[in-house]
Amino acid sequence: MERTALGVWPSFNIQEDVGELFTSSDLNCINLDCITLDCINLDYINLDCINLDCINLDCIILDCINLDCINLDCITLDCINLDCINLDCITLDCITLDCINLDCINLDCITLDCINLDCITLDCINLDCINLDCINLDCITLDCINLDCINLDCITLDCINLDCINLDCINLDCITLDCINLDCITLDCITLDCINLDCINLDCINLDCITLDIIPSNS
């Protein structure tokens, strides 16, 4: 699909052109200066289910993503290989994900300094089931996270390696976690200036191994 003379993408058919866009197995580099998606849901996109067996993205540069509302009933991602992700700004007003199955996530390079999220405001995140076999995050810097309501019925995390997490302020009004299975969590450094948890309901937490090298405290 080519741009018009004015350099603007022409209108295109979602089912034909987007399907054609994702037929290639490799996307070497995607440069998106600004994506503004007011509403993505099954009613508008008419995608009952998205099955992506393998996505290879060598480099994704997203300067600004504004997603007012994303409704995805079912996403099945067998394999996602992301060599480098740079996200300057992500604003997600509402994400409703009924089911996310991620069999394999390979993140060779995540520059979380380049993922500087000064403020993430998530009014409501409903995740019925998240299966993440392995997540390696070297550094996450989140100045402010406001989560009004998080409902996580089941989270299975086999291995999470977080070298450094800096959270200046986390306001969680209500977190309901029915079951969290964490086989191994390695946290070298956690800096939490302020955590306000009005209500946390944890019915079941299984932590086989937690290694905390340094936990600074301001109290």
What are the C-alpha distances in Å from 84 to residues 81, 92, 194? 9, 21, 30
When pLDDT is cut at 50, 70 and 90, the band that residue 112 belongs to is very low
Task: Provide the pLDDT for residue 122.
Answer: 57
Final residue in a domain of this structure, among 109, 141, 173: 109
Task: Provide the pLDDT for residue 153.
Answer: 72
Residues 68 and 145 grouped into a single domain: no
Residues 6+ away with beta carbon under 8 Å from 158: 132, 133, 134, 183, 184
Tally of structural domains, the chain: 2
User: Cα(113)–Cα(116) distance, rounded to whole angstroms?
Assistant: 5
Residue 82 pLDDT > 50:
yes
Residues 92 and 168 grouped into a single domain: no
Residues 96 and 134 grouped into a single domain: no
Residue 96 pLDDT > 50:
yes
Task: Provide the pLDDT for residue 45.
Answer: 45
Give the domain range for residue 160. 118-219
Residues 150 and 181 grouped into a single domain: yes
Query: Which among 49-53, 85-89, 194-198 has the top mean pLDDT?
Result: 194-198
Task: Provide the pLDDT for residue 178.
Answer: 72
When pLDDT is cut at 50, 70 and 90, the band that residue 76 belongs to is low
Final residue in a domain of this structure, among 109, 141, 165: 109
Final residue in a domain of this structure, among 74, 109, 144: 109
Residues 47 and 105 grouped into a single domain: yes
Q: Does residue 104 lie within any of the structural domains?
A: yes
- As a whole-number percent, the residues of the chain with pLDDT over 70 amount to 2
Residues 208 and 148 grouped into a single domain: yes
Q: At 46, which amino acid appears?
A: N
Q: Does residue 20 lie within any of the structural domains?
A: no
